[in-house]
Structure 1
């Protein structure tokens, strides 16, 4: 925690980004819980929740390639501000959804909101090596992800309570306001000396016509010839085979299995968020000590714990135990996520960051879409606990693929991108 506080105290650019992140992501989770609870009120159907989540997935998948090319061509700070302003306008439109019997508008707006998101989220990831020094990079990545997960916990608990006590319109209104605050914070960023919020590109120049598809293919080609980056992307896909179903199951477990209404949905999401926070803090400490080979072993361990704990969450009859196991499951995911993102920030060249991060988001959401669709259809006739067990087992298979590639020596460390090994916070190899 001392490292987090030092970073916030000493780095103005990161502090501004972090403040905007806190407000906007808490607002996002107000929206998430309000939407899920409203859909359950209107339909009492896991299939309807699946429809909302599928719409979000379609929005994210569609936007990913476009956002990647845009972020690697334009000033990323400006792209993030535009994304915030567009999302504020869309979020206000959710006010028209209350009092309606149909979920059609909710589904449409959910897709639009997610379409606008990668321009911000991938942009934030892409500028992190610009606003954080080389020595700060791992801590900045850890704090960014831990803050995201803290927002899940706080936003889920408060969003559930707000939706239940003050109504859905208050939750939707706060979400819209949060994007405006985020845009204001991002507008305060200043380019560090000798750096730029626009990627340095060797493959294009200002006087050449944009070739979006060709540029996107170049990003894919970079991932294909860099085994570690491709493997990290596939880890996300492996997690999403069960992780997509989890998005449906959280609402079903809170509302149907444990019969606790909107507050129960918020509590399940909140427990998951607490686990992510704990995992993020642990990863921040371990990441400063772990060398590359130990990092690869740790990923295997993380996904075995994640899948096993999710299975236990699904079969627990005690509400308290269920919350504990979902927290443990998410803690393991958090450790893996922080470690993987730090590796990408250290190794992916600036010219490819926008395309790499947005492509990974699209790959994960495409897989989640299939997982959510299957889980939503299954929820009509199959016990949610059985669906949860299958989802946990699927997510665990990620460990098998990564472990096999590691054992075969297929995951060498790529060249560092603008980072000298002695400047990285690694002090010795920890055993895993």
Structure 2
């Protein structure tokens, strides 16, 4: 507990960012849960509720990489404040939704919210290494990862209860308040020099060069901007390993999100209440695992947390999905125990992976790396959702969910490639001292994208 207490007592700005992130994420869960309930109540269509969630998900797939590149060009703290303000303002049209004929407003709002949110997340992840000491980064990431589980537990319950009590209006006002409070907390964080990448410096102008740039400038700048957004993840070998891991596990997450409820109901023969208990137990396990990781994680190298966490998470998931084949009448009890236990290795995996990415990238390109990886994860999850929805009847629920566990183990084995790579001498990024997991910094493509050879 010493490392955890020291982190929270010494770094006021980190406490503010951590609290603001928790409040913002809780607002997201209030909105998603409350609107899903209200849209189904108004339309009576599960397709309408699913379309609402899809509208919030698409921006991450389509624009995540470009958003990350823009975050690197802007002040990240101000980006997070502006994102919260825009998120709050964008919710106000929901106050006039009063029937099925205005349900289109919900889709437009969710599309807006999803678009703005993709700027907040990479800015937050890129800012955290600047707020704490390098030796405290694993502990900081573990606490930050806990936000998702706490927000799901609080926001999910608050969103459902608020929607049932006061409808869309109450959900909207509560969510606006959460984003406003998050923005206020971030304004209390001391500004700092983030050394983020600025716009490219143009070479000296010549008559021929001006004419050439006038004719092809927009196309060249769009191409160089896309290269700046995607290039670091493809060019840097450790990040290619991370990308492969994210894609493998993202497909599995999509399959699990689609088939977990049918698994509890059809395979374990549980009720709706049993499913709710399993989901709540999963959140509790995540919170407990995050606290444990924050306490003990700093004693180990980040890459080992990543590898060990992935392998053990995959193994426990296989137990969850396969025990009904052996214990046919066991019910949901073993599943509840396992989803609580898996919280620790899952937290170790996420915290280790996050720290590896932060150590492997220079501050100037950190936002675009997180943006590109987020887009890859979202696309992989959509693929997994499609596989789960279309193949469950033909292949079987247990078989597909088993593939999810196998994918995690395969991802852990892939991460071992990084373990071997990280043992070689490496140059630390400019804003961080050398660590055992820091490979060479990646040159910033933005700085040379528009310069002639």
Q: TM-score range by the shorter chain?
A: 0.7 to 0.9
| CA deviation vs aligned residue, 1:76-112 (integer Å, no higher than 9, x gap) | 1121112111111223333444643786443333222
2:90 equivalent in structure 1:
90
Q: CA RMSD in A?
A: 3.7
- Decide whether aligned partners of structure 1 residues 140 and 88 sit closer, same or farther in structure 2, where only a CA change above 3 A counts: same
Question: How far, CA to CA, are the matches of 2:275 and 2:96 in structure 1?
Answer: 23
Question: How far, CA to CA, are the matches of 1:182 and 1:336 in structure 2?
Answer: 27
- Decide whether aligned partners of structure 1 residues 67 and 410 sit closer, same or farther in structure 2, where only a CA change above 3 A counts: same
Q: State how 1:332-343 maps to structure 2 within 5 Å.
A: 332-343=345-356
8 Å contact from structure 1 (residues 311, 392) kept in 2: yes
CA deviation after TM superposition for structure 1 residue 295, in Å: 3.8
CA deviation after TM superposition for structure 1 residue 234, in Å: 2.3
Question: How far, CA to CA, are the matches of 1:249 and 1:103 in structure 2?
Answer: 27
8 Å contact from structure 1 (residues 156, 270) kept in 2: no
8 Å contact from structure 2 (residues 310, 412) kept in 1: yes
1:429 equivalent in structure 2:
none
CA deviation after TM superposition for structure 1 residue 123, in Å: 0.3
| CA deviation vs aligned residue, 1:320-366 (integer Å, no higher than 9, x gap) | 54444444445433221111001112221011101000111111111
2:122 equivalent in structure 1:
122
Question: How far, CA to CA, are the matches of 1:307 and 1:254 in structure 2?
Answer: 14
8 Å contact from structure 1 (residues 72, 354) kept in 2: yes
Question: How far, CA to CA, are the matches of 2:324 and 2:195 in structure 1?
Answer: 45
Consecutive unaligned residues of structure 1, counting only runs of 5 or more, are 425-432
CA deviation after TM superposition for structure 1 residue 276, in Å: 1.8
Question: How far, CA to CA, are the matches of 1:288 and 1:301 in structure 2?
Answer: 19
- Decide whether aligned partners of structure 1 residues 307 and 53 sit closer, same or farther in structure 2, where only a CA change above 3 A counts: farther
- Decide whether aligned partners of structure 1 residues 319 and 163 sit closer, same or farther in structure 2, where only a CA change above 3 A counts: farther
1:428 equivalent in structure 2:
none
1:28 equivalent in structure 2:
28
Q: Say if 2:366 is the partner of 1:353.
A: yes
From 308, 311, 314, give the equivalent of 1:298.
Answer: 308
User: Larger Cα Rg: Structure 1 or Structure 2?
Assistant: 2
8 Å contact from structure 1 (residues 46, 376) kept in 2: no
SS state at 1:173 partner: helix
| CA deviation vs aligned residue, 1:371-427 (integer Å, no higher than 9, x gap) | 223444568xx49x9446513423532322441563697643554324335799xxx
Number of residue pairs aligned between Structure 1 and Structure 2: 415
Q: State how 1:12-27 maps to structure 2 within 5 Å.
A: 12-27=12-27
Question: How far, CA to CA, are the matches of 2:42 and 2:4 in structure 1?
Answer: 42
Question: How far, CA to CA, are the matches of 1:144 and 1:227 in structure 2?
Answer: 26
Q: State how 1:294-333 maps to structure 2 within 5 Å.
A: 294-295=304-305, 297-305=307-315, 307-309=317-319, 311=321, 318-333=331-346
8 Å contact from structure 1 (residues 59, 115) kept in 2: yes
8 Å contact from structure 1 (residues 253, 265) kept in 2: no
- Decide whether aligned partners of structure 1 residues 271 and 408 sit closer, same or farther in structure 2, where only a CA change above 3 A counts: closer
Question: How far, CA to CA, are the matches of 1:88 and 1:206 in structure 2?
Answer: 38
CA deviation after TM superposition for structure 1 residue 297, in Å: 3.8
CA deviation after TM superposition for structure 1 residue 286, in Å: 4.2
Moved more, 296-305 or 123-132: 296-305
Moved more, 160-169 or 247-256: 247-256
8 Å contact from structure 1 (residues 243, 391) kept in 2: no
Question: When the two structures are superposed, what TM-score results if normalisation uses the length of structure 1?
Answer: 0.81
From 283, 292, 304, give the equivalent of 1:282.
Answer: 292
Moved more, 244-253 or 9-18: 244-253
| CA deviation vs aligned residue, 1:268-313 (integer Å, no higher than 9, x gap) | 5433322222222233344312236634641442342353255259
